[in-house]
Structure 1
Amino acid sequence: MATQGNAEIRGDERGTLLIFLAGQRAAVRRAVLGLTDEQAAATPSVSALSLSGLVKHVAETEQGWVARARRVAPDMQRTEANWADSFRLVGDESVESALAYWDKVALATEEFIRSCRASTTRSRCPAITGRRTRRRCPCGGCCSI
């Protein structure tokens, strides 16, 4: 699992972002703690979304964000034909395998975020501000420097 810690430098948004992400991941993980695959796949309300589907969806979404920031294709290409599969476990997928995948995604996210330069009030990631930049940071091009 990705590490959780304090921001390294006062005002460094990377540390703050990593702590926030770790907290959000932990909340979702706690929701499936101790549940069987069948229990986690249950949809006891009118929604078709289950806890196991939520785990899979947030893992794929996080991986997709980082992939797009790196300007590469996400691991899973979703189309209209397979879009619903991003919200439920299919085939031999299990809660355990979805959580293991998410652990790998979390480590890759942490590595990526730590490779980016911290944004300041004058320089922010174009993915957030919508601004374009001509210079690239070590992360592969998402951040202005």
Structure 2
Amino acid sequence: MVEVIEKKNQVEVEREALLAFLAQQRAFLLTTLQGLAEEQATRRTTASELTLAGIVKHLTSVENGWRTFVKEGPQEVDYESRETQEFHENSFRLIGEETLEGTLAAYERGAEETDTYFRSLPHLEVSQKLPPAPWFPEDASWTARDVLIHLIRETAQHCGHADVIRESLDGQKTMG
């Protein structure tokens, strides 16, 4: 009985540590948008197409997609199709009626859903086969743990982009 409790506690400690690191990266990202008007948050400041609002929108899509992957398994995607490329490009920019306020709200909702879902799992060994893609090894699988680590990595990478964009925008350094 003690062994089962210790194992459960280890799972909870690991899960909470990973979620805490992810929350920290999310907070860093949101710091880069503090005090900005929508026009500033959607302005390109470097040679890249990236904007601060676009990064938030993209990371919302990333979290939602990977949460769905853990729940339901891989979705079939034609990575060569123009439709897929257009979807990916549009995940980095506000289009139509999208606003900074709505994008930030969607990001916070998605973060809450991710945290709630991963806390509901009995363990982080839940595994799904990765979809066929040029960047994944053939027949590879990822656990829920792998997905959380990937979300931390991707969010941290985009925090760096956001820091450069913000510094180029108004000189503010948010990460150091």
Fold match by TM threshold 0.5: yes
Report the residue type matching 1:33 in the other structure.
Q
How many angstroms apart in 1 are the aligned matches of 2:141 and 2:26? 29
Match of 2:91 in 1: 86
Residue 32 of structure 2 is aligned to residue 27 of structure 1: no
How many angstroms apart in 1 are the aligned matches of 2:98 and 2:9? 40
Residue 118 of structure 2 is aligned to residue 113 of structure 1: yes
- Offset of 1:126 from its aligned partner? 2.7
How many angstroms apart in 2 are the aligned matches of 1:80 and 1:46? 20
Structure 1 residues 44-74: Cα deviation after superposition (integer angstroms, max 9, x where no partner) = 1111101110000011101100011111688
Q: Displaced runs of 4+ in structure 1, greater than 3 A?
A: 8-11
Percent identity over paired residues: 33
Q: Report the TM-score, using the length of structure 2 for normalisation.
A: 0.59
How many angstroms apart in 2 are the aligned matches of 1:59 and 1:86? 9
* CA pair 131-94 structure 1, distance change in 2 beyond 3 A: closer
Report the residue type matching 1:35 in the other structure.
L
Q: Report the TM-score, using the length of structure 1 for normalisation.
A: 0.71
Report the residue type matching 1:98 in the other structure.
T
Root mean square deviation of aligned Cα: 3.1
The answer to whether the 8 Å contact 1:41/1:51 transfers is: yes
Question: Number of residue pairs matched?
Answer: 121
Which structure has the higher relative contact order (CA within 8 Å, separation 6+)?
2
Match of 1:15 in 2: 16
Structure 1 residues 17-42: Cα deviation after superposition (integer angstroms, max 9, x where no partner) = 11011101101111111111110111
The answer to whether the 8 Å contact 2:70/2:126 transfers is: no
Higher helix share: 2
* CA pair 116-33 structure 1, distance change in 2 beyond 3 A: same
How many angstroms apart in 2 are the aligned matches of 1:98 and 1:73? 25
The answer to whether the 8 Å contact 2:41/2:51 transfers is: yes
Report the residue type matching 1:79 in the other structure.
T
Report the residue type matching 1:70 in the other structure.
K
Residue 74 of structure 2 is aligned to residue 63 of structure 1: no
Report the residue type matching 2:95 in the other structure.
V
Mean Cα deviation higher: 92-101 or 64-73: 64-73
**Unaligned residue ranges in structure 1 (runs of 5+):** 1-7, 133-138
